[in-house]
Amino acid sequence: MPHSIPASAPYDALLDRILELPYPVLEYERWLRQQAASRSGPRDYLFSADKPRFEPRKDDVVVAHPGLQVRERAGAAVLGLPGAPNGIELQGVSRKAAEQILGAIDGARCLAQVRWAARVDTPAFARFLRAAFGLVVFAPDAVASLERRMPSAEVVRFASSPYAVERPYWENMAAVRELFLGQWPSIDSGAKLVGLLRKLHVVAVMGPRFDSFYKPASPASDLRVNPGALLHDAPRILSTTQGSVFLDGPRVNAGAVGGERWHRLVSRAAGQTGDEPLQRSFDEGGLGWGSIVVARAEQDEQERPWFCPPRPMHDGHAEFLFVQLETAERSAAAGARDEAVAALARFHQAFVRLHPFHCANQCLAMNVANAMLARVAGAGIPHLLLDHLALRMTRQAYERVFDAAVGAFAIADQDPARRLAVLRERRARSFALIERLASCTTNEQDHRAIQEDPEAAAWALVAAGPPKRH
């Protein structure tokens, strides 16, 4: 006997509730669980490894590196260039299949058409792409389209190959930038800014059409992301005679990411003595802006410094963020570069300390800051380790560090390839200097290493007065 449909107000109300379910959010949460379960190996939290992460798609028109050849070594197919001793081994792909795929890549076919023309099975084609894409096989039109929307150097910590950027993340960050610039003119208060930031957070992790999912690198994303939801939880810490115990709530790593010696040299260059106690509270303008505590949670191997964001969040926090952005915009319009950069430094430091969302705070803060920075410096900058410095530094010192980063990395060059080449050189030379400094044991050795390459010292933020020439 067929079931009849109840004719009642409660039934209609239940139907309405089902229709109002946020299905994209439910799908995103399911996807997050899959990502957390599939992760293996150490977490590259800083994305410092310059390896391909850009996802190839079936509508991408692809090209191969000029001169690319298929060879065979120990029975395995290898992609290589003439004269190059090594190459890329294609596990599970025969030499014949590799030659057919390479022969089908003509710079006009999209990936779906390449597979058809190559006449190879899907698993072999997928293995070929996993090994070669982003290294010797490229999708230049797809990358160029995203670069025009938002330079890849402005969405990462350290300038790298565009193919080292996760594609959904890059697409979402471009959409965040566009939404911010489109709605910022209507923002006239801290409360409205918070409303906009919540929308930007949703777009950052779910995409503008809620189908481009991104999992933030923060370990917190293994627990939850909660798109657009403010994190109102307060840190709970138990103080005992044997140390502080972190019970629960939000906390951010406040250790010396990048090394204690580098942090001390950056602080010294910024005019911060380094004598400030590590365990301290930050207060300004009658508002608390969080504190650093040395504590250990149940799952921690030992106690470490943690930054505990201010809770509860007050209207004054939101108003401070708004005032800094408004000041930056007004100063940029007046051509007052130093005032604009200082205001953006205050905005960025306040945002990362406030930690308003469960995760994805740094990428959102830098995206907004870079949108404004482009107006005064002609370009934004890589994210670097600015968020970690912001947690530990005084406001005055952080303004100097942020200004130094802008002077070192805001490259206003309309040629994206040339701009990226300059940024990657600065990354390489600054990293090399930081490694040399890590082996120094005296101030004299530090001074000598810095004097040997003063430009790299400026790019590593360990020397005052970075060169402004681009």
Q: Which among 378, 388, 383, 286 is positioned nearest to 340, based on CA atoms?
A: 378
Read off the pLDDT of each residue in 362-378 and give the average, rounded to a whole number.
Answer: 97
Q: What is the pLDDT of residues 68-122, one digit of tens each?
A: 999 988 888 999 988 777 899 999 999 999 999 999 999 999 999 999 999 999 9
Question: Could you read off the pLDDT of 21-55 as tens digits, one per residue?
Answer: 899 999 999 999 998 877 665 555 444 566 899 99
Helix (H, G, I), strand (E, B) or coil at 430: helix
The C-alpha atoms of residue 241 and residue 292 are separated, in whole angstroms, by 18
What is the token pair recorded at 162? 């565009």
Q: Give mean pLDDT, residues 214-230.
A: 92
Residue 467, pLDDT score: 42
Binned at pLDDT 50, 70 and 90, residue 408 comes out as very high
Q: How confident is the model at residue 469 (pLDDT cuts 50, 70, 90)?
A: very low
Sketch out the chain's domains with CATH numbers: 9-52+144-470 (no CATH), 63-138 (3.90.930)
When pLDDT is averaged across residues 167-182 and rounded to a whole number, the result is 98
Mean confidence (pLDDT) of the chain = 92
User: How many residues appear in the chain?
Assistant: 470
- Alpha-carbon torsion angle 29, 31, 32, 38, nearest 10: 150
> What would the two tokens of residue 322 be?
């708004």
Token pair, residue 443, equals 């101030």
Name the H helices within 43-163: 95-104, 111-118, 122-132, 140-149
Segment 183-199 shows an average pLDDT of: 98
